[in-house]
Homo-oligomer: A and B are copies of this chain.
Amino acid sequence: MATKRNESISDAVIRRLPRYYRHLSELLANNISRVSSGELGKEMGLTASQVRQDLNHFGGFGQQGYGYSVSNLRDEIARILCIDMKHRLVVIGAGSLGGALAKYPNFAKRNLEIIAIFDQDPSVIGKKIGDLIVLPVTKLDDFVKHHPVDIGVLAIPKDQAKLMAKKLSELGVKGIWNFSSTDLEMEETAAVVENVHLTDSLMRLTYRLHN
């Protein structure tokens, strides 16, 4: 059971979980086996209070007078984020971004596996990207029906994104990781969407550069 009660956890908390995970991994790599909320918070720019509040949404992982076991806490957060389970991804769009995502090295240790990559361009189909061969999108239906796919990664132009998201969702893919610069909202469907807007991120940087 991930949460203590059936309370819904705020997005602000969820956003911090992967950061906790990274920082705890870092501590672990440095052979540090225990950490207090104060120390962890200081590293991450959070108050001790906030760290304890965040963690206590999911259960009491610490021990009074001692703090938290780094490896235990890291495992708990991995479990909360569900990266203790294997997830299978397909990438739609074998352009340079799709290709880069398909080869991204940091997925494996989080149990994330890219199992196929698709494109519609005949000049790209058949090419090798890492260990994968680019398949024609026309084979997508067939592929998904015969392989378990948890997440579809959209690295295609924005005008095709909505349609492809709908298709994936209809095929039973439950998660969409969207790199097309349009906000996908899937009210109709059951799929969960996570939008990554690279230019939005860069525009926040240009804002802060001058303010």
Contacts and interface: CB of A to CB of B under 8 A. Distances in A.
Interface of A: 2-3, 9, 14-15, 17-19, 21-23, 26, 44-45, 80-83, 85, 87, 95-97, 99-101, 103-104, 106-107, 110, 112, 150-151, 174-175, 177, 181-183, 185, 192, 194, 196-211
A202 B99 contact: no
A3 B207 CA distance: 12
A183 B200 CA distance: 19
Contacts of A15: 200, 204
Which 4 pairs, one residue from A and one from B, show the smallest C-beta to C-beta distance? A18-B200, A96-B100, A194-B205, A100-B100
A120 B100 CA distance: 19
Contacts of A182: 22, 26
Contact of A99 (B83, B96, B150, B151): B96
Given A192-B208, A196-B198, A203 B83 contact: yes
A82 B18 contact: no
A210 B150 CA distance: 11
A76 B193 CA distance: 30
Given A80-B207, A110-B203, A185 B17 contact: no
A17 B207 contact: yes
5 contacts: A19-B200, A85-B210, A87-B209, A151-B209, A192-B208
Contacts of A110: 199, 202-203
Contacts of A177: 201-202, 205
B18 A203 contact: yes
A101 B208 CA distance: 21
Contacts of A99: 96, 100
A187 to B, nearest CB: 10
Contacts of A44: 183
